[in-house]
Chains A and B, each alone.
Chain A
Amino acid sequence: MSERSTTEWDASGQLEVLTFDIGDERLAIEAVSIREILDLLPETRVPGAAALVASVVNFRGKIIPIADLRVAFGMPIQEATADNRIVVIETELDGEATQIGLRTDKVHEVTILERARSSEPPVLGMRWRRQYVRELVRLAEDVVVIPDLANIFGAVPGAASTLQH
């Protein structure tokens, strides 16, 4: 597993993010990498794909993968609700700008995180792989998680497949 990515705090130690819920956790992703927030779309399952990115959708004529971060964080999969949204992000994978739709349970707001209120993920006491989390930041009463998308998607087996051959 590769090194954890670093967070690009601005000069005044702030970061503009979009916060959303996955299961009972609140996550935050840099606002600059957000492309669009969509209602759920009809998804097409890709047999043989990794469970994290098991399906694709048609996003404005492009075929983009839909990722369910619950798989990465080992949370139970839940039924869709009216609050569910797809957050389309753009990130660099294998040196290639890739758009990915993240399935979220509820999208909250665009807000500012303070570096002063952030901390490294603890070595113990987390239910997730440490490499998948970049930082934990306190925001009001909550703690939001900045996931390490590069590590999460980097772990998807590219060439290897789970298809039974």
Chain B
Amino acid sequence: MSGVGEGQDPVAAFRVEAADLLDGTEQALLDLTHDLGSRELIDTVFRGMHTLKGSGAMFGFDALAAFTHHCETAFDRVRKGLAPATQELVAVTLSAMDHMRALVEVQGQASGAGLAAAGIAAAGEAILAQLHAAIGDTAAPPPATTRDAATGNSDGGDAGEAQGGWRIAFRLPADAMANGTNPLILLDELRDLGEAEVVAQTGAIPPLDVLEAQECHLGWEVTLRGPATREAIEDVFIFVMDDMDLRLEPLTAAAPLAPPLPAAAQTPAETPAQTPADRPAQTPAQTLAETGPARAARATGESVRVPAERLDVLMDRVGELVIVQSRLAQLASGGINGPAGELALRSISEEVERLASELRDTTMVLRMVPIATLFGRFRRLVHDLARETGKVIELVTDGESTEIDKTVSERLADPIVHLIRNSCDHGLEPPEERVAAGKPAGGRLRLAAEQAGGEVLITIADDGRGIDRERVRAKAEANGLIQPGQVLADGELLQLIFQPGFSTAAQVTNLSGRGVGMDVVKRTIEALRGTIDVTSQPGRGSVMTLRIPLTLAIIEGLLVRVGEGKYVIPLAAVEECIELSLEDDIRSRGRSMIQLREQLVPFLRLRELFDTGTRPDAFQKIVVIATGGERVGLVVDQIIGSHQTVIKSMSCLHRGIPSFSGATILGDGGVALILDVVQLVALGQQQEERLRAAG
């Protein structure tokens, strides 16, 4: 069991932990909205608050601890059945979570930052007022954190203090010491509160032959005299409270507890040896224990958590590489003699090739994170949207274990937030309207991910009213995006929503912006070398499909030659390769369309587009590429083959050129440019439109 590393700033460590705790608690709260009766979830929320309060106070986040205390109290009441769990309570607690996040932040910037702190404090008061209203105790009672139903009568407003003192009986869980709790320290702290008389209860100690030396078998009974508050006593046990058995009775009640045992030594000598941990050192370890072993590997900022077995695989490959390297060195020093030597060299070359490709794959996998981390954020969003719009929205997620590059995942968050907002705001109807349309009152939003080859498909589907084509058309005409009465295919019409400055929201709400958005979404997705497609059925809903490459760094490409230049076409976009016969070439001149299985597909002659100044090869090929259901053929001189393409960016002097999305280095050290599929398809479609317009 190791604590937080020596050099690490404990406050920073707490902040990371607090973020994790808040996230986990928030997920439990969101689950709770679907299952208000779940004891387990209520307990999870309570424990989250409890830990947050405890470690917050420990690291000097007093405002956070004080605020969290009230939420903890509220959930403690729910836990004990004194107050029901309601949607209102969950909602107000969710806003309390946001407030806690703010408190964690503020504390970090400058202790006692005047104005901001005051504003936050006021916001906190408002939330607390709502919280008390939600659990139905308008009197805002002092913390009624009774630990045991046996002392239920002390739950009133006067329970905070007992002038004469307290009789405290507590028993720690058997594994308390293994978890780093030192009972001696707890007792010392109690002594600090006043004059204390400590009696150990040895009744539970098992016979010697079954005694587990590492476990805690003792209970203690402490008579504490003085004006200590219940809260102060409970604070002593704050880190062990969840699992321990604690009874508190005011001495004035004069009700004897369990028959006092014969006095024993004040603190038993047989307490197993403890690590001499003093309190500050103990706490980080303690909090780590409370939040689970996964937290031990917690990382901050830009780090990635990697499962250990993936590192093992990587290590294996490196080991093999070292072996191959020594074989190669041996061969080189011995000289490559005759066919046998060449054969050996070839076998080493093949081995290196295999290892390089495996190393590439395993290294890439290190950067992969499950998309569940991304999807998790959207649950809260949908919950809030449902409340704001007064709609009933059920979020269904699917394929959360699909893995995606960490950078890609981070950059996808904003576009998906936008798409979800759009679906909730424009797509899904209010309950009355849904019922009138013969649909269930609750709308359904489906968020799914799946891997398809080198891409991840993310779909955001709603069962709302669908995109209103007439409104899209009217809007596009009003904005001058299309000519009035212009004939458009359905797909083209829907693509208009991605045009800059386009918005169909009849009324602008605070949810889905002001017509900025969909074009930004499209741009962001395209910057990730992904595509976005939309389909929509009136009355049935809309589906947004994002196709995102698994990683930004390496793609499978098709290497082609045009004139003297070599180019890479991302293989994911390639549908098929066909030959452009001489007759077709001549016949199609000026039209640039080919018949492909009953469909006319426009094509671009890359030789002309790139102005190579060379004569066409005798047997030109057409590479048919597609994005979003649109197809375009690219005429090339030669198809060289598939190519593992490591994508390199181009300098800012070349970045503005359409047609290319980057460059790569070929086996011979030369450079091949990577074609930008989206741009080329758009270009082909424009050409087709021009031809169609020309008749």
Given contacts A65-B653, A94-B652, contact A56 B663 (CB under 8 A): yes
B650 close to chain A: CB less than 8 A: yes
Which residues does chain A contribute within 8 Å of B653, judged by CB atoms?
Answer: 49-50, 53, 65, 67, 93, 98, 100, 153, 156, 158
Instruction: Please classify how large the interface on chain B is, using the bins under 10, 10 to 19, 20 to 34, 35 or more.
Output: 20 to 34
CB distance from B523 to the nearest CB of A (A): 14
Which residues does chain B contribute within 8 Å of A153, judged by CB atoms?
Answer: 653
CB distance from A138 to the nearest CB of B (A): 32
Given contacts A44-B670, A58-B671, contact A63 B657 (CB under 8 A): no
B610-663 residues with Cβ-Cβ distance < 8 A to A are 610-612, 648-660, 663
Contact in complex: B611, A47 (CB < 8 Å): yes
Which residues does chain B contribute within 8 Å of A99, judged by CB atoms?
Answer: 651
Contact in complex: A65, B651 (CB < 8 Å): yes
Interface of B is mostly: loop
Contact in complex: B657, A163 (CB < 8 Å): yes
A59-105 residues with Cβ-Cβ distance < 8 A to B are 61-65, 67, 93-94, 96, 98-100
A2 close to chain B: CB less than 8 A: no
CA distance A96 to B663 in the complex (A): 19
Contact in complex: A42, B670 (CB < 8 Å): yes
CA distance A156 to B564 in the complex (A): 25
Contact in complex: A96, B652 (CB < 8 Å): yes
B324 close to chain A: CB less than 8 A: no
Contact in complex: B659, A163 (CB < 8 Å): yes
Which residues does chain B contribute within 8 Å of A98, judged by CB atoms?
Answer: 651-653
Contact in complex: B657, A46 (CB < 8 Å): yes
B673 close to chain A: CB less than 8 A: yes
User: Quick one: closest A residue to B660, CB to CB?
Assistant: A46
CA distance A93 to B656 in the complex (A): 14
CB distance from A93 to the nearest CB of B (A): 5
Contact in complex: B652, A46 (CB < 8 Å): no
Instruction: Please classify how large the interface on chain A is, using the bins under 10, 10 to 19, 20 to 34, 35 or more.
Output: 20 to 34
Contact in complex: A63, B648 (CB < 8 Å): yes
CA distance A45 to B611 in the complex (A): 11
A-facing mask of B683-695, CB < 8 A → 1, else 0?
Answer: 1001000000000
B609 close to chain A: CB less than 8 A: yes
Which residues does chain A contribute within 8 Å of B610, judged by CB atoms?
Answer: 47-48
B573-616 residues with Cβ-Cβ distance < 8 A to A are 609-612
Contact in complex: A58, B609 (CB < 8 Å): no
User: Quick one: closest B residue to A50, CB to CB?
Assistant: B653
Contact in complex: A49, B657 (CB < 8 Å): yes
Contact in complex: A160, B672 (CB < 8 Å): no
Which residues does chain B contribute within 8 Å of A164, judged by CB atoms?
Answer: 609, 611
One of B649, B655, B683 near A165 (C-beta < 8 A): B683
Contact in complex: A163, B648 (CB < 8 Å): no
CA distance A96 to B153 in the complex (A): 71
B338 close to chain A: CB less than 8 A: no
Contact in complex: A47, B659 (CB < 8 Å): yes
Contact in complex: B657, A161 (CB < 8 Å): yes
One of B655, B658, B660, B671 near A158 (C-beta < 8 A): B655
One of A61, A67, A156, A163 near B665 (C-beta < 8 A): A61
A-facing mask of B381-408, CB < 8 A → 1, else 0?
Answer: 0000000000000000000000000000
Which residues does chain A contribute within 8 Å of B453, judged by CB atoms?
Answer: none
B669 close to chain A: CB less than 8 A: yes
Which residues does chain B contribute within 8 Å of A45, judged by CB atoms?
Answer: 564-565
Which residues does chain B contribute within 8 Å of A50, judged by CB atoms?
Answer: 653
Which residues does chain A contribute within 8 Å of B648, judged by CB atoms?
Answer: 61-63
A126 close to chain B: CB less than 8 A: no
Contact in complex: A64, B651 (CB < 8 Å): yes
CB distance from A160 to the nearest CB of B (A): 7
A-facing mask of B439-452, CB < 8 A → 1, else 0?
Answer: 00000000000000
User: Quick one: closest B residue to A67, CB to CB?
Assistant: B653
B131-160 residues with Cβ-Cβ distance < 8 A to A are none
A11 close to chain B: CB less than 8 A: no
User: Quick one: closest B residue to A157, CB to CB?
Assistant: B656
B-facing mask of A25-68, CB < 8 A → 1, else 0?
Answer: 00000000000000000101111111001001110011111010
Given contacts A63-B663, A64-B651, contact A158 B656 (CB under 8 A): yes
CA distance A155 to B674 in the complex (A): 25
Contact in complex: B659, A56 (CB < 8 Å): no
A159 close to chain B: CB less than 8 A: yes
Residue among B564, B649, B657, B658 with max Cβ neighbours from chain A (10 Å): B657
Which residues does chain B contribute within 8 Å of A44, judged by CB atoms?
Answer: 565-566, 663, 670-673
A residues lining the B interface (CB < 8 Å): 42, 44-50, 53, 56-58, 61-65, 67, 93-94, 96, 98-100, 153, 156-161, 163-165
21 A-B residue pairs with CB within 8 Å: A42-B669, A42-B670, A44-B670, A44-B672, A45-B565, A46-B673, A48-B658, A48-B659, A49-B653, A49-B657, A53-B654, A61-B648, A62-B648, A63-B648, A63-B650, A65-B653, A98-B652, A157-B656, A158-B652, A158-B653, A158-B656
